[in-house]
A and B are shown apart, each in its own frame.
Chain A
Amino acid sequence: MQSEKKNPYWNPYVAGMLAGCVLIGSVAVSGKFFGTSTTFVRSVGMIEKSISPDHVANLDYFKKEKPMVDWQWMFVIGIFFGASLAAKMSGTYALQLIPDMWQRRFGQSIIKRAIVAFVGGTIAMIGARLADGCPSGHGLSGGAQLSVGSLIALVCFFTGGIIMTRILFGGGTRS
């Protein structure tokens, strides 16, 4: 299909194995496993603290996950810069407000996409905090450690996601 044009992307197996090596390197050098969702707790804690410090000080969850910059917070910032660098270097940076697959199904309304994405993000993060991890913390780090809870979480992530996409896109049709 793409024999004429050179595919600007990497083979996902190669990139995945390299990501596995980055994880191994991180564990060896700094003892840190990948994770991202706790950073959202720390960040919102920092934001809330600037508005209502007493409230944050009284919440148990912010005592557990302190509103501060830590290894993982910098890791998440790093993801932004790394992805940005890769997109710019490969010429695959593209400003897009609505993903192609979404547009084919739900049309061109930017507002509609924004609302669903926002609500989806809110729901996803509540779930991730209850499950104590997201696809990076449970999926990659927990999976690589063969953690029972992480493997269960991963199955549940996909189950919930498959149910939701069935509702949104319907079943069966390949488009």
Chain B
Amino acid sequence: MKELLYGLITGIMFGFLLQRAQVLRYDKQIGALRFLDMTIVKFMLSAVMTGMVGIYILKDIGIASLSLKPTILGAVIPGGLVFGIGWGLLGYCPGTSIGAVAEGRIDGLWGVLGMLVGAGVYAELYPWFKNTLLTFGDFGKITVPQALGVGHWFIIPIVIIAGLLLLRWIESKNL
């Protein structure tokens, strides 16, 4: 019960921030994919870089553990590309479609309904995927530092510097 309450509170805070940063907008999402407006990339990179430092500190002091999804190339590559194609059509991702409806962008609702249908279709197709794509190129639960055989505090500063350089470049282009 407490867990459900935490979920709700966390979601409210996240949704609040998504709306305040204009991440819920079709024009911002498609704007990023068309290299016209990088608002969502700025938001995402800032969140990832901040989260990365905090999560690895929590891991090191033993408060939390990582929760990784397995790296299955046969699933993640085609799945990611198919997701991207659908995202380009809809202009919202699963979380932001819900948020878009909440701020009055009703077209997000058609996306939510489509996603429910998509989830149902996937459940029907799953037995086939399980024996094919989901078995190809399974590298298990790996992180970049593990794959490279170096400590995470070696990789994290590199990621932050690369992220900041990318953001500086985006700002220099006025995106």
Residues of A within 8 A of B (CB): 9-34, 36-37, 39-41, 43-45, 47-48, 59-62, 64, 69-87, 90, 92-102, 113-165, 167-169, 174
Q: A139 to B155, alpha carbons, bound, how many Å? A: 18
Q: Which of A9, A19, A168 contacts B89 (CB 8 A)?
A: A168
Given contacts A39-B94, A139-B48, A143-B52, 16 further A-B contacts (CB under 8 A): A16-B47, A19-B43, A24-B55, A77-B11, A78-B14, A84-B15, A84-B103, A116-B90, A119-B86, A120-B86, A121-B97, A123-B83, A129-B119, A130-B78, A131-B76, A147-B68
- For B18-56 the 0/1 string (1 means CB < 8 A from A) is 111111111100110110100110111111111110110
**Any chain A CB within 8 A of the CB of B79?**
yes
Whether the pair A28, B64 counts as a contact (CB closer than 8 A) is yes
* Alpha-carbon separation in the docked complex, A76 to B99 (Å): 9
- Beta-carbon nearest neighbor of A87 in chain B: B103
- In the complex, chain B residues whose CB is within 8 Å of the CB of A10: 17, 20-21
Residue of A78, A79, A126 with highest tally of chain B CB at under 10 A: A79
Docked Cα-Cα span, A142 to B27, in Å, equals 25
Contact between chains at B102 and A124 (CB < 8 Å): no
Q: For residue B161, give the distance in angstroms from its CB to the closest CB of chain A.
A: 14
Judge whether A126 and B17 touch: CB under 8 Å: no
Residues A120 and B90 in contact in the complex (CB < 8 Å), given A80-B15, A101-B27, A129-B79: yes
The total of chain B residues at the interface (CB under 8 A) is 123
Q: Which residues of A contact B77 (CB under 8 A)?
A: 152, 156
Cβ contact within 8 Å between B103 and A83: yes
B60 close to chain A: CB less than 8 A: no
Of B80, B95, B120, B142, the residue contacting A148 (CB under 8 A) is B142
In contact, B118 and A157 (Cβ under 8 angstroms): no
A12-B42, A20-B46, A74-B11 as given contacts; A148 in contact with B51, CB under 8 Å: no
Question: Do the beta carbons of A164 and B88 come within 8 Å of each other?
Answer: yes
Enumerate chain A residues within 8 angstroms of B58, measured Cβ to Cβ.
24, 27-28
- Determine the chain B residues whose CB is within 8 A of the CB of A64 once the complex forms: 126
Write the nearest CB–CB distance from B22 to chain A, whole angstroms: 5
Question: Would you call B122 and A61 a contact (CB within 8 A)?
Answer: yes
Contact A118 B64 (CB under 8 A): no
Chain B residues within 8 Å of A, Cβ to Cβ: 3-27, 30-31, 33-34, 36, 39-40, 42-52, 54-55, 58, 63-73, 75-91, 93-95, 97-108, 110-127, 129-130, 133-134, 139, 141-145, 147, 152, 155-156, 159, 167
Question: Nearest chain-B residue to A155 (Cβ)?
Answer: B80
Task: Tell me which of B88, B103, B108, B118 contacts A92 (CB under 8 A).
Answer: B103
Given the interface contacts A149-B76, A156-B84, A161-B33, does A40 sit within 8 Å of B118 by beta carbon? yes
Q: Which residues of A contact B11 (CB under 8 A)?
A: 74-82
Tell me if B116 and A78 are in contact (CB < 8 A): no
Measured CA separation A26–B45 after assembly (Å): 18
Contact B147 A48 (CB under 8 A): no
Most A-side CB within 10 Å, residue of B30, B36, B45, B76? B76
CA distance in complex: A101, B113 (Å):
22
